[in-house]
Amino acid sequence: MESCPGAASLVERKFHVLVGVTGSVAALKLPFLVSKLLDIPGMWKHRSDPVLHVDLRRWADLMLVAPLDANTLGKVASGICDNLLTCVIRAWDRSKPLIFCPAMNTVMWEHPLTAQQMDQLKAFGYVEIPCVDKKLVCGDQGLGAMAEVETIVEKVKEVLSQHSNVQQS
C-alpha cells in the first residue's frame, strides 16, 4: 500500500468493485485477480443475490472489465447492450470510474477497428489498462495479452484512491 497515495483513505470506506468478464482466454486469470482485489482494504467480502443491471450500477463504486475481448469492445463502442455486462456498462454512471483491460489476439488488436473502438471507450471517459506484448495462448507473439494482475490491482487502488479524494472534497 505504500506505493498507493491516499491508501489510508481506502481503509476508511468500503468500496464495491464490479468485475466484468468477457470471452477472452485471459479470463483464466479471473480467480487470481479477484483474490488479489479482495486484499484491498475496504473491499467487499461477500456476494449478494443476483440483481439487475441498474442495481449493479448503483451498487458499484468502480467497474473493472478484465479482460475486455474484441467482441465486447465492439459492442460497447457501438452502444450494443445484449447481455448483462454490456447493459451494466451502458447504464454506467460516468461520474464513477470504469476501467477496462483489453485482451485479444495480436492480429485482432492490430485491426484498424480496434483503435477506433478503443478511442470511443476513452471518449466515454473510461480508463484503459493497456494490453502487453507476450506469447499468447494461441502461440502468436505480440500485443494483445491482458495486463498482469498486479498492474491491474495497482491501477484499481490508484483510481479508488483518487475517486475517494474527489468525493471527499
* Closest to 73 measured CA to CA, from 10, 22, 145: 22
* DSSP states of 66-133: EEE-HHHHHHHHHT---SHHHHHHHT--TTS-EEEEE---HHHHHSHHHHHHHHHHHHTT-EE---EE
| Inter-residue contact 62 to 99 (CB < 8 Å) | yes
Active-site residue, from 4, 81, 101, 138: 138
Provide the grid cell at 25. 482466454
| Inter-residue contact 111 to 71 (CB < 8 Å) | no
Catalytic residue check, 138: yes
> Annotated active-site positions, please?
138
